[in-house]
């Protein structure tokens, strides 16, 4: 079974802090994704990566950056956390772009910015 592991289930940070959310997948998937999920807004794509050292902006990249130095690891960085970044963050991976390929999700990180 594919396993997507997010390093923290819950995080509490202060406004202005630099925050790192880590995600690791164990199935040699090429593509990885970061979404955030908010009540009434659903899931929205922040950033994605096709392969190592590659990154592409999603629908809501403002205030975020990402890093993919190794194939299995995709990090989401909040350069200066703000209260409107309080949310549930979900990481996902997929073998590659294609009609047959399932996107697998981690358990999520609930981030509170105070």
Partner 1 sequence: KQEVTQIPAALSVPEGENLVLNCSFTDSAIYNLQWFRQDPGKGLTSLLLIQSSQREQTSGRLNASLDKSSGRSTLYIAASQPGDSATYLCAVLNSGGGADGLTFGKGTHLIIQP
What is the binding site for partner 1 (CB under 8 A)?
4, 6, 31, 33, 35, 40-43, 45, 48, 50, 56-59, 90, 92, 97-100, 102-108, 110
Burial of 59: CB neighbours in 10 Å, binned 0-12, 13-18, 19+: exposed
CB of 39 to partner 1, least distance (A): 9
Nearer to partner 1 (CB atom), residue 58 or residue 63: 58
8 A C-beta contact, residue 36 and residue 44: yes
CB of 112 to partner 1, least distance (A): 13
Neighbouring C-beta atoms of residue 18, cutoff 10 Å: 10
Q: For residue 1, what are its two tokens?
A: 């079974």
Residue 1 CA, distance from chain mean position: 20
Nearer to partner 1 (CB atom), residue 59 or residue 69: 59
CB of 16 to partner 1, least distance (A): 27
Give CA–CA dist 35/89, Å, rounded: 6
Nearer to partner 1 (CB atom), residue 15 or residue 33: 33
Collapse the DSSP code of 85 into the 3-class scheme (helix H, G, I; strand E, B; otherwise coil) and give the result.
Answer: helix
Nearer to partner 1 (CB atom), residue 21 or residue 92: 92
């Amino acid at each position: 079974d594919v396993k997507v592991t997010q390093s923290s289930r819950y995080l509490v940070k202060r406004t202005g802090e630099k925050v790192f959310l880590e995600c690791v997948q164990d199935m040699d998937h090429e593509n990885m994704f970061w979404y955030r999920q908010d009540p009434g807004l659903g899931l929205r794509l922040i950033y994605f990566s096709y392969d190592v050292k590659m990154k592409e902006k999603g629908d809501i990249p403002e205030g975020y950056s990402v890093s993919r130095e190794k194939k299995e690891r995709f990090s989401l960085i909040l350069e200066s956390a703000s209260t409107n970044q309080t949310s549930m963050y979900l990481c996902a991976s997929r073998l590659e772009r294609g009609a047959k390929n399932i996107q697998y999700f981690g358990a999520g990180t609930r981030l509170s910015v105070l």
